[in-house]
């Protein structure tokens, strides 16, 4: 059974719209992350959460808003979508944020903004 679930697998959106990317982990981890992978840049850290609290935000834009309704959920809301937002978004989790623990990655959501 997959331990990190990301929904949807693929997403096509129009410029200016808003989408929510879903992530749930069943590893019993306390830390969750979002990373982005695009053709133009290497894997890029976006956010980290620990016990549902924001630990780090490296996104330059407030259009990206993480939402944690439960300890094992970390969704990503993206507003006013732009074509440059097209990328694969990976959710990851680890036991803790500061403990140098292995981060396990979900299958990703591939977003295409037209």
- Cβ of residue 73: shortest distance to other proteins, in angstroms? 17
Distance between CA atoms of residues 67 and 95, nearest Å: 19
Q: Return the residue of 25, 72, 86, 94 that touches other proteins, per CB under 8 A.
A: 94
* Alpha carbon 39 to its chain's center: 17
- Taking the least distance from each CB to other proteins, the nearer of 82 and 96 is 96
Query: For the chain, first and last CA: distance in Å?
Result: 33
Element housing 21 (H / E)? strand 19-25
DSSP string computed for 63-108: TEEEE-SSTTB-EEEE-S--GGG-EEEEEEEES-SSS-PPPEE---
54 to 73: interface string for other proteins, x by CB under 8 A:
-xx-x---------------
- Taking the least distance from each CB to other proteins, the nearer of 2 and 83 is 2
Q: Return the residue of 21, 97, 111, 113 that touches other proteins, per CB under 8 A.
A: 97
**Contact positions toward other proteins, by CB under 8 A?**
31, 33, 35, 42-45, 48, 50, 55-56, 58, 90, 94, 96-98, 100, 102-108
């Amino acid at each position: 059974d997959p331990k990190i679930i990301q929904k949807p697998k693929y997403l096509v959106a129009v410029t200016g719209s808003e989408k929510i990317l879903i992530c749930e982990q069943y590893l019993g981890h306390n830390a969750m992350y979002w990373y982005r992978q695009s053709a133009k840049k290497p894997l890029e850290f976006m956010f980290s959460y620990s016990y549902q609290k924001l630990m780090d935000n490296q996104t330059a834009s407030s259009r990206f808003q993480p939402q944690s309704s439960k300890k094992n959920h970390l969704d990503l809301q993206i507003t006013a979508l732009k074509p440059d937002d097209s990328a694969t978004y990976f959710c990851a989790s680890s036991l803790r944020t500061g403990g140098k623990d292995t981060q396990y990655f979900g299958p990703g959501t591939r977003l295409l903004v037209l």
